[in-house]
Structure 1
Amino acid sequence: MDSSGEKTPLVPAHHGFFHYKSFRFWMAILLMFALFSAINMRVNLSMSMVCMVNLTAHEESERAANRTLPAINPKCVMSENTLKTKGYNGEIRWSKQQQAQLLTATFYGTLATAFWSGTIADRIGPKSVLTVTIIIYILITFASPTVAQLSYPAVFVLRVMIGAGEGFVAPALGSMAGRWSTAHEKSSMAAVYTSGNQLANSLTHLINTELCASRFRWPAVFYLSGIIGIVWLITWQCFASNYPEDNFCVGAGERNYLEEHSPSLKTQVRGSVPWRAIFTSRAVFAILTCQFAFSFTLAIFMSFLPQYLRDVLVLPLSMNGIYTAITFVAQLISKNVLAVVADRLKRSGKMSHTACAKMFQTICCAGDALALSLLAIFGSCERPWVAGLLLAAYGAFFSAGICGFFTANLSIAPRFSGTMTSLTGPDKVWTCVFSAGAVCNVLAGVVFWFFGSAEVQPWGRNDDASTTSSSHSLSAASLSERTFARRIAAKREENCVNSERNTQENSKRN
């Protein structure tokens, strides 16, 4: 009741982020299944390839090409019969080089949409961007089984198109997450919605191994992925919105809470993107560095882990899916536990946002480096259980990065969260690799232009001047000693010849 005696309307209390009545939590779940659906349709090829390809079709030519190379371990080599008994008996004849090209084709497509997709997500709305992208994914996924049996180049084109669509997924998710979370909830929001990555990689590989071994075989992998995408798309259209204030499911208490702690971005995203400030920011540079390391290992594990388990650990198809899931299940558990801890530390005031992010990022980088180093040393078909433990350790440490640089990426510029995610999203690993390669080539060309030469250098000539000027070099010193010895020997030979000649002349005179 106010001073005039009139009753003040009560504002409903808001619920915590993880409360079942909190719609921002359900938005995080929707975003999680959006990522699940997108990744499921992208990585289904990496798992199904191990059972759809005839590995022995190119065996003779590859053996002939490598006949001079010694076998690493006879126990780790699978014969044709072993391949069939372990479930790897496909019918499509793609060489190992073609398989690798298909697995990396998505990254080429991402290069075409990497840098401008985030700006589009911020301007026209992430809901529409995700809707169009998933529709394209669904169409490509349903067409893939038929195309795979008809034309390898056509499959490659479809994978490039998948990559082009992937360039829009991460920025749209980042833009939506930034609009539906407060500063103290960003680690939790990031942990929940990025869990779609771990769910997709773990469940997809487990289910796909069963489908490959069933009477439906590998085409069922693609059809199931497409159906999941359709289910998510219908749910997304019914309940998602670009802003909390536009959503009919958001209660008055939650709406007031979001307006108080995270003002509406409707009128703020219209300004131009400060590209110069972004690219000269030390915070952005730090995030880009961590994102490169994060994405590099993530891309390897998402695309090539099934092949590693098959070719190096020599696991049967049924165990391939289980071992693949180990890493992503560990990530799923670790990231959600650590996210709650991180948000509580920030909310209680015990740690600042920056200190908390730095602590978890250090745990991520140091732990992953140790786990991967041990995996490189001890990973073997004779000790697959050791590799399984190290894969689990890697996954647990890996997820600490969500509370580190990933949370920082959502926090440093809420107005441009989509743009920032497009610059630092998980699909930028090959952009960084190619950019680094371009920079190295430019530097090499510039250095050689100014300092290179194809003329014989003074220190490379076999004369007195060269040996004198190179007296401090070990190779030049050795050359000088050999030259001096040859001259002494020649002088002695000359003296012997002259002495013999004088003796003969004296004999004739006598």
Structure 2
Amino acid sequence: MSSFEESPIINADIEDDVTNSRRNLVENELVEETTGWVKCRTVLGIMGFLGFAIVYAMRVNLSVAIVAMVNSTTPQPSNDSSLDVCEANPVSNTTKPTNGEFNWTEQQRSLVLGSFFYGYVLTQIPGGRIAELYGGKLVYGLGIFFTAVFTILSPIAAYTNFWFFIIVRALAGLAEGVTYPAMHAMLAKWIPPLERSKFAAYVYAGSNIGTVVTLPISGWLCTLEFAGGWPLCFYIFGGLGVVWFIGWLFLIYDSPQKHPRICPKEIEYIAGSIGNAEEEKPSMPIPWCKFLTCVPLWAILIAQCGQSWVFYTQFTEMPTYMDNILHFDIVSNAELSALPYLTAWIGGVVLCTIADWTIAKGWISRLNSMKLWNTVAAFLPAFGILGIAWAGCDKFAVMLLLSAASAFGGASYAGNQMNHIDLSPQFAGTMYGITNAASNVCGFMAPYVVGHIIKTDQQTLGQWREVFYLAAAIDLGANLFYLFFASTEEQDWSRPDNDDMTASAPVESILFPES
């Protein structure tokens, strides 16, 4: 205990940090006893990683495919020095991104890009709650399966009718909306506290790797003559989603106690850290009024909204920016668009590993760690996007700033992303559904706002600077709110009947409850 007593802990609540230190010692002793070549929670992490990689492949493919789908009648970029535009590169005009099959306006294009999120935000809360009550295995798995089905149907819908395409994309979002809250509910049952930030970084980073792989492949597929080129982006990745679902059904279980092949010592370690998941099913209705008045929950929600606005500005609009402003051809566009997601994955894993390590060492409290890394995940990407606004036509500077900013954006997994489990383990899925639904409103709000800022007839650097300024301001303001009001204390409404007992009981009795 002396090593913890001598550590420069910076939390105001010293008693709470001592309790955390004791918990860390007990967990470190347990983890040394955990044996086995491949732990079952590692298999969960791998399959969850692949699942997020596939759903993001099915989401991001449209951002590239739409460049080939739309017949852009926008006049060729002018080299008139009086206009705030970048000079066109004659070599890049040998490709055919302007010969698309659909004559959609800029507003229609923004509507298509945002349509996925119309459905996505609706199933966040139901997905989290159903996963809490009945387990996350089928909720997560079926969410990806039906997303794959609607992805395969997307080209057929696009050829049929513009509004039919919008509906199919919204249905794909409806199916995918359950995935994040369902996984959050599973992590609450499977992953001990000291592993959560790092584990979440690995699992949720599947979204970054899926994007890294999908963008260049989609760009290449769009150049093919076979099957029209761009429809392959939907057929191939949708098919992978169906194959993944079969593996998920056979390998994954709702909780450690239900897994038939898990090592007994792994169950002992997990149950000793977070309790028996099968004995702690929710026994009380959702405290909606408590959610509404929970300021720390609002802090998470607002922080996620700020970071999502920056993310979705980059996610849905950067391929268009590279095409119309920086004048990359569609293949170069896709490959360079993937770089920020690669750095986000690397940065997320490295930064979250450091975050868990510093907490385990007792050098910083969990609350201050979350505030620190959330600030890193907000400020540096915001300043990066401001730098892009003034980098102008310097393609190298734009990609360098975007990639560096994205690397630090991965720190959000050690920031607000796992904060829900601290506030209420049994309602973590529902709360994540609430905050993720709110933040993903930005998925269609950001393209909608951009569609009104950017003029179709002549896009300029000045117009895009307004887009970047707005994104940075929202992100920075949201982080300030999180710094003032975030908390890691379990709320008094989280557990029925035994809140006082839980708060005052020794840590050993919490980690090893009597049967």
Q: Above 0.5 in TM-score?
A: yes
| TM-score interval (norm. to shorter) | 0.7 to 0.9
Name the counterpart of 1:105: 115
CA-to-partner distance for each residue in 1:431-452, whole Å, 9 max, x for gaps?
7997xx9xxxxxxxxxxxxxxx
**Residue in structure 2 matching 1:32, options 21, 35, 49:** 49
- Alignment of 1:337 with 2:354, yes or no, is no
Query: Which has the higher mean CA deviation after the structures are superposed, 111-120 or 154-163?
Result: 111-120
- Alignment of 1:240 with 2:252, yes or no, is yes
CA distance in 2, matches of 1:125, 1:421: 15
**Residue in structure 1 matching 2:67, options 50, 53, 56:** 50
CA distance in 1, matches of 2:37, 2:387: 41
- Aligned-residue offset at 1:203: 0.9
**Residue in structure 2 matching 1:138, options 148, 153, 173:** 148
- Aligned-residue offset at 1:113: 2.7
The answer for unaligned runs of 5 or more in structure 2 is 1-28, 449-515
**Residue in structure 1 matching 2:178, options 168, 171, 176:** 168
CA-to-partner distance for each residue in 1:281-335, whole Å, 9 max, x for gaps?
2221211121111111122222222111111111112211122111101100001
Name the counterpart of 1:284: 297
The answer as to whether partners of 1:144 and 1:222 remain within 8 angstroms in 2 is yes
State the SS of the aligned residue for 1:406: coil
Superposition map of 1:176-187 within 5 A:
176-187=186-197
- Alignment of 1:324 with 2:337, yes or no, is yes
CA-to-partner distance for each residue in 1:118-138, whole Å, 9 max, x for gaps?
212211221111232222212
- Aligned-residue offset at 1:199: 0.9
State the SS of the aligned residue for 2:222: helix
Distance 1:333 1:82, change over 3 A: closer
Larger RCO: 1 or 2 (CA < 8 Å, sep 6+): 2
CA-to-partner distance for each residue in 1:389-446, whole Å, 9 max, x for gaps?
0011111121111111112233322111111110112773317997xx9xxxxxxxxx
CA distance in 1, matches of 2:438, 2:343: 21
The answer as to whether partners of 2:117 and 2:444 remain within 8 angstroms in 1 is no
Residue type at the aligned position of 1:190? A
The answer as to whether partners of 2:34 and 2:269 remain within 8 angstroms in 1 is no
Name the counterpart of 1:453: none
Distance 1:407 1:110, change over 3 A: same
Name the counterpart of 1:440: none
The answer as to whether partners of 2:114 and 2:444 remain within 8 angstroms in 1 is no
Superposition map of 1:68-467 within 5 A:
71-73=83-85, 75-76=87-88, 83-85=93-95, 87-216=97-226, 217-266=229-278, 267-380=280-393, 383-425=394-436, 428-430=439-441
- Aligned-residue offset at 1:32: 1.3
State the SS of the aligned residue for 2:381: helix
CA distance in 2, matches of 1:188, 1:235: 24
CA distance in 1, matches of 2:167, 2:384: 36
Distance 1:74 1:417, change over 3 A: closer
TM-score for the superposition, normalised by structure 1:
0.75
Rg: which structure is higher? 1
CA distance in 2, matches of 1:92, 1:125: 43
State the SS of the aligned residue for 1:131: helix
- Tell me the percent identity: 26
The alignment covers a number of residue pairs equal to 412
CA distance in 2, matches of 1:138, 1:332: 24
State the SS of the aligned residue for 1:248: coil
Residue type at the aligned position of 2:191? S
The answer as to whether partners of 2:121 and 2:436 remain within 8 angstroms in 1 is no
Query: Cα RMSD over matched residues?
Result: 2.8
- Alignment of 1:23 with 2:40, yes or no, is yes
Distance 1:322 1:432, change over 3 A: closer
The answer for unaligned runs of 5 or more in structure 1 is 1-11, 64-69, 438-510
CA distance in 2, matches of 1:14, 1:281: 34
The answer as to whether partners of 1:123 and 1:270 remain within 8 angstroms in 2 is no
